[in-house]
């Protein structure tokens, strides 16, 4: 479902994604511009070519302005993508509910529209946009560092890849934490909704304290799972950063060896080190973002995103009824999804009758009307409509 949604989003917003990718590519040049300028300034100062410094600084200013402008555009078009995603998800959830409205779906639909959509925005769409940027920055940085010194660049690259293995190793662990939290959050949300909507019934049953305790326990579990989810993510990031620090020390030692042996200049080493650092970070981020995309997959498995096939059924039997009778219920069982709310319903409505349906919430009043209007299938029995109403559009 996640891949299907992304393909659909790209298909419907091709131009928007193309512009985002282009502005992201230009923004990704920040991985080499600063290392290049700093290395060039270092070598220029070492060679005492001071007259060239203003030109280099002017070039640096122009490049940074170019980067900042593209970064602004990248953020702008990224926001457009998030807007399109939110509209698509919320519309899908709402339309699926309208196509098959059931009381039990209300809470899940509202929860998805109000909460899960924003989660998908921050954990999926933002991750996709950042993933594209990281891939582009990795490619640009690779080309640059290999242009300085292939062997040294390879050493820096190998050291830089070591930290990238940590998020991969911890992926399933992190994903399990996210799934646990999603389950606990939905359980808590359902209990809160039931407690709020059924407050009058709960009060009449003198069960306020009991329900309050249930809600508090659900909240405690949800917050615990939320803490553990973040703990797992932070632990994975911490281990990656530790390995990253160690790998940087090793790679700098290798670079120093090449300087001592005269294979690269000091400025080249600085450029290589800084560019490799910019290379390592996006590589680690790529693995982490892939893990994040995997962990958010349960949100796309929500039932509210699954369209319900059109149900073809007819509860009504049109026939000639005696006297002034217009609607007759005979031994009807009413409910939804096989769950019976009203059993053995029998009544007649004649021409001129005024009917009032009363009863507590959830007893089946709406279900009766929906069954009569062919919106909910009749479980058992017969609903007979006088055939004179058929010609006049019974609904």
Does residue 205 sit in helix, strand or coil?
Answer: coil
- What's the CA gap between 363 and 349, in Å, rounded? 21
**195 near 202, Cβ under 8 Å?**
yes
What ranges make up the beta strands (E) of the chain? 316-319, 325-336, 339-350, 380-386
In the block, tokens 């019974």 appear at 394
Domain with CATH 3.40.50.300 in the chain: 316-391
Domain with CATH 1.20.1560.10 in the chain: 2-178+239-305
Q: Which residues of 160-187 are buried (b: 16+ CB within 10 A; e: fewer)?
A: bebbbebbeebbeebbebbbbbbebbbe
Architecture of the domain defined by 2-178+239-305: Up-down Bundle (1.20)
Architecture of the domain defined by 316-391: 3-Layer(aba) Sandwich (3.40)
Q: What is the pTM of this model?
A: 0.59
Maximum C-alpha span of the chain: 112
Rg, Å, the chain Cα set: 32
Residue-wise pLDDT tens for the chain (395 aa)?
678 888 888 999 999 999 999 999 999 998 889 888 988 898 888 888 889 999 999 999 999 999 999 999 999 999 999 999 999 988 888 888 877 777 667 778 888 888 888 888 888 899 899 999 999 988 888 888 888 878 877 877 777 777 777 777 888 888 888 889 988 988 898 888 888 878 887 888 788 888 889 889 999 999 999 999 999 989 988 888 888 788 778 777 877 888 888 777 788 888 877 777 777 777 767 877 877 777 777 777 766 676 665 556 678 888 888 878 889 999 999 987 667 889 999 999 998 888 888 888 778 888 888 888 887 888 889 999 988 886 555 55
**Distance (Å) of CA 363 to CA 9, 186, 280:** 42, 25, 62
**381 near 318, Cβ under 8 Å?**
no
């Amino acid at each position: 479902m996640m891949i299907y949604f992304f393909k659909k989003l790209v298909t419907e917003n091709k131009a928007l994604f193309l512009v985002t990718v282009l502005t992201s590519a230009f923004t990704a040049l920040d991985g080499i511009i600063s290392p290049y300028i700093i290395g060039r300034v270092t070598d220029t100062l070492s060679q005492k070519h001071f007259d060239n410094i203003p030109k280099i600084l002017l070039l640096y200013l122009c490049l940074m302005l170019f980067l900042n402008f593209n970064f602004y555009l990248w953020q702008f078009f990224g926001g457009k993508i998030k807007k399109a995603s939110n509209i698509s998800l919320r519309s899908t959830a709402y339309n699926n509910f309208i196509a098959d409205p059931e009381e039990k779906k209300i809470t899940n639909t509202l929860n998805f529209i109000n909460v899960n959509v924003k989660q998908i925005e921050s954990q999926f769409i933002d991750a996709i946009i950042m993933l594209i940027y990281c891939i582009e920055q990795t490619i640009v940085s690779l080309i640059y560092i290999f242009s300085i010194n292939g062997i040294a660049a390879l050493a820096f690259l190998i050291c830089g890849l070591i930290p990238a293995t940590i998020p991969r190793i911890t992926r399933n662990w992190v994903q399990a934490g996210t799934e646990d939290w999603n389950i606990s959050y939905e359980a808590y949300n359902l209990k809160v909704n039931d407690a709020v909507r059924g407050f009058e019934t709960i009060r009449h049953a003198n069960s306020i304290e009991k329900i309050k305790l249930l809600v508090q326990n659900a909240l405690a579990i949800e917050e615990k799972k939320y803490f553990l989810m973040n703990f797992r993510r932070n632990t994975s990031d911490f281990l990656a950063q530790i390995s990253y620090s160690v790998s940087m020390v090793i790679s700098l030692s290798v670079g120093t060896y090449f300087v001592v042996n005269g294979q690269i200049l000091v400025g080249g080493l600085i450029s290589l080190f800084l560019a490799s650092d910019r290379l390592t970070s996006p590589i680690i981020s790529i693995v982490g973002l892939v893990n994040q995309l995997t962990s958010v997959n349960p949100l796309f498995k929500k039932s509210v995103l699954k369209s319900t096939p059109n149900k073809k059924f007819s509860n009504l039997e049109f026939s000639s009824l005696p006297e002034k009778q217009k609607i007759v219920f005979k031994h009807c069982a009413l409910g939804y999804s096989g769950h019976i709310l009203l059993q053995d319903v029998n009544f007649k409505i004649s021409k001129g009758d005024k009917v009032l349906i009363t009863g507590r919430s959830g007893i089946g009043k709406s279900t009766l009307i929906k069954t009569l209007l062919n919106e909910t299938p009749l479980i058992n029995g017969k609903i007979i409509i006088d055939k004179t109403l058929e010609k006049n559009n019974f609904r």
